[in-house]
Structure 1
Amino acid sequence: MALRRSHAFLFASALCVSALASQQAAAQEPLARQLDKTYEELSPAEKIATRAAAKAAYKDKRLKQLHVCADPGNMPLSSINEDGFQNKIVDILGKALGAKITYHWRPFIERGLTRETFSQRMCDVMLDIPADYDRLLTTDPLYRSTYVLVWPTKENLEISGLDDPKLKDLKIGVFQTSALRQAFNKRGIYKNVVKQTQSHDGDLVPEHQPGT
């Protein structure tokens, strides 16, 4: 049994194009990108013009360095040792662009992450962005992540799905930032849910991991 959610992880060809499009717009009328709007609030014509300007700006841009914001401790996705599968994707992107990769490590559980990193121009690329995040331009989803419920085999449980009434009688542990926590809450399952608080360095320091 699994709860599935689609994500677009990467690529600030997806995420910083709004800034590039704005620069292009300043030079080429009549495109006028209203930066006080989210992308979803733009008119169809504004969306088309913004994407066209972004593509043109990136064709003209020659990157010697690709600045990537990534989580230092979120294996198997991303790691400060650069051995996560998202790090491998970044390597491929860097080679395709002929650019040197420079990482800026930021724990992804902190508040205001995209605002802080992009306003300070830390990133050309950010990993692990949901496909429906409307404050940034994102790529098409690269893969889907899957959430599952697990339990000891000796319990001999049979759970049909998240709407199974038996879930309201079980003690359920969830990570602090898990989408399952929200899914349970929508179904009125919260009194028996135990939150496991996450540390920004939990994947790097064993004693900081949830439950230890």
Structure 2
Amino acid sequence: MMANLFSIFEPSSSIFTLSLNWTSTLLGSLFIPYLYWVSPSRWSLLWSKIINTLHSEFKALLTPSHTGTTTLLIGLFSLIMFNNFLGLLPYVFTSSSHMVMTLSLSLPLWITLMLFGWINHTQHMFSHLVPQGTPFILMPFMVLIETISNIIRPGTLAVRLAANMIAGHLLLTLLGNTGASLSYSILMILIFSQILLLILESAVAIIQSYVFAVLSALYTSEIN
């Protein structure tokens, strides 16, 4: 039962051992190019409004020398959000529910920040290991705690996104599999609850992509 339940997350379509389901990761990019040649619509105006709002928020979080990073963060937000939403459609593989995908986004970003910070701002990075006002006796423990918390950052980013997407999909699958054995009246309640859950998952798709991008911006802001 458990193996069948988690099999919905396994890439199954393939040609010559090459998995085709991972191509869904790039499907979101198909929605963007037409904005450059189609006359402005409500969708394009809404997306432009979202991008401008995100740019203002990320710019407020980052130092003036890092404001160009907002383009990277907005692209990261867009990629994750498109994948989260596409995963809610039937028969579309949810790549953002896999650690391979989420860790591939968080780990290179974290490694780049660490290399840049320790090479160019070594003293500032050392000062982050010991918060101001820490008693002398507690300094070794604080260095250890801050080092561990820094090392697990890419893992927490990846696990948070993947776990939230998996949890919602599993719940939708579990409720959907019980529909065949229910009476008509209870089935109506199940369909209504599925619709509410789908709305919740749509909100989670946006929130998790926003949280991922904001936390990345906060980690970047620590590298002065």
**TM-score tier (shorter):** under 0.3
Calculate the TM-score normalised by the size of structure 1: 0.24
Larger Rg: 2
Bigger share in helix = 2
Bigger share in strand = 1
